[in-house]
Structure 1
């Protein structure tokens, strides 16, 4: 079997920092899940993925970058929130283009590196196999959080686009607020006040 390349497209700031911390661990993490050692990762920081006015275009940007760089899969990681019917969206997946968009704040602020690494490997399995064991996602690193997979309303003709949302609205918002607070690094402002 040929090598498989996964392109990671983080927005600047927190997504880029977290990706840098887990980047070297990802090939081994996905290898353990798939029993295949031909996984390679590439990354490209894209500021347009982190701007609100272009959130709806992030999937198109990922598809174009994937094609240009000849990646097999592309995953955007943004620090912006995403919503669907009042539920927080952790991930959008397009199976036709083999791309996904992960909203980092919805993972919360606790054990963020482990959660992101686990969620990226979970999404890669979804894209690669067309399915994965959602119970594994729910129980391993997200003990209190349950997820649902839904088809976006605006894509009723497209059955190859799925969204993973947090089942509980309250818990989803709690994680989102904690995650956005962590992403803004308020502790850095305290040091500025001391100066």
Structure 2
């Protein structure tokens, strides 16, 4: 966070913020390329492209995973190194192929984790250093939470852009504690948070959780044809139905976050803002994804109730004529119970499946 709201330190002064970018490269071709880039002009190029703080690159040779390994494993292992070395951002040059979904890519950035990954073999045989420098610049921009509009604004006027402010924030140590610290992270990085959540595409969360979806559908079908559920829906009223709905959403949200170990803890003061941002974005992403999941189940439950629940039998069970509102109440309670079933199914998902569903990773282009 930027603790000097009305004062911007001069470049080169002791008070100038410092952003540390860790560069982790696998032994062999990757570390050779990384050394050439760092020893050449990569630091100066990033400094010129993203002013607002003094950039410092720290090079580390490490094979972060043992092949074969998926993208999620590479990101997780690189993220661990970021926290261990107290870097602000990290770039991993790997000798393994990369994929986003089933599509091969040269590189991708995960702004939520602060991790970018570049596949060195995918750069080709010629013009490797120049191409790598351009791609790395694009990756750094995405790690800063930039979208296409931000990058265009930054290129037109780097001195006034939101990216410059983000760089200065990232390089400024924060030592506030507790709720006040979290509130400042939330309000001070609202635009960044919005971009990170949007990049995660939380509405696609349910599509990536097959076991949770199966559990929800099974619970919904069972509830929909049970006369006791009809009576409960009729007698609960709006307040209780709302309470059940909130409880079911909280249940599946907690199951996903706790079960897949998505919640992080800061090991030092330098990493606390990053960890706070990560956790806030994680909660927002999962809540919005579960809300989309719930809305879809409600629509399906309403259609199922209208198609499967016979009005004469329904009215006889309730002891009064069944109206459209009664069907909506049954659909509402059925949806909530189905969401609880989804929470049980989510507990069976693998950690990698949950993380892949929750965190969308995007290919990066040079800028």
State whether TM-score is above 0.5. Answer: yes
Query: What does the per-residue CA deviation read over 1:11-44, in whole Å, with 9 as the maximum and x for residues that have no partner?
Result: 1100100011111311111122123450000011
Name structure 2 gaps, 5 residues minimum.
Answer: 1-15, 153-198, 209-352
Aligned to 1:15: 30
User: Counterpart of 2:113 in 1: which secondary structure?
Assistant: coil
Match of 1:156 among 342, 357, 365: 357
**Secondary structure of the structure 2 residue equivalent to 1:61:** helix
Quick one: which of 58, 64, 89 aligns to 1:73? 89
Counterpart of 2:125 in structure 1 is: 109
TM-score, with structure 2 as normaliser: 0.37
| 1:80-159 alignment, distance < 5 Å | 80-84=96-100, 86-132=102-148, 155-158=356-359
State the alpha-carbon separation in 1 of the partners of residues 135 and 150 from structure 2.
Answer: 11
Separation in 2, partners of 1:18, 1:77: 9
Q: Residue 127 of structure 1: CA displacement?
A: 0.8
Structure 1: any 5+ residue segments left out of the alignment? 137-148, 167-195
Distance of aligned partners of 1:103 and 1:48 in 2 relative to their CA distance in 1, 3 Å threshold: same
CA contact (8 A) 1:89 1:163 kept: no
Specify the SS of the correspondent of 1:75: strand
Provide the aligned C-alpha RMSD in A: 2.9
The aligned counterpart of 1:34 is 50
Question: 1:6 is paired with a residue of what secondary structure?
Answer: strand
Q: State the structure with more CA Rg.
A: 2
1:3 match: 18
d(CA) in 2 for partners of 1:69, 1:129? 22
- 1:43 is matched with 59
Cα distance in 2 between the residues matched to 1:48 and 1:162? 18
For residues 122-159 of structure 1, give each alpha carbon's deviation from its aligned partner in whole angstroms, at most 9, with x where no partner exists: 111111143257999xxxxxxxxxxxx9979653333x
Any conservation in 2 of the 1:6–1:42 contact (CA below 8 Å)?
yes
Q: Write the distance in 2 (CA, Å) between the matches of 1:13 and 1:163.
A: 26
CA contact (8 A) 1:87 1:165 kept: no
For 2:178, the equivalent position in structure 1 comes to: none
Contact 1:90 1:106 in 2 (8 A): yes
Shift in CA distance, 82/150, structure 1 to aligned 2, threshold 3 Å: farther
Q: Is the CA contact 1:125–1:132 (under 8 Å) kept in the aligned structure 2?
A: no
Counterpart of 1:142?
A: none
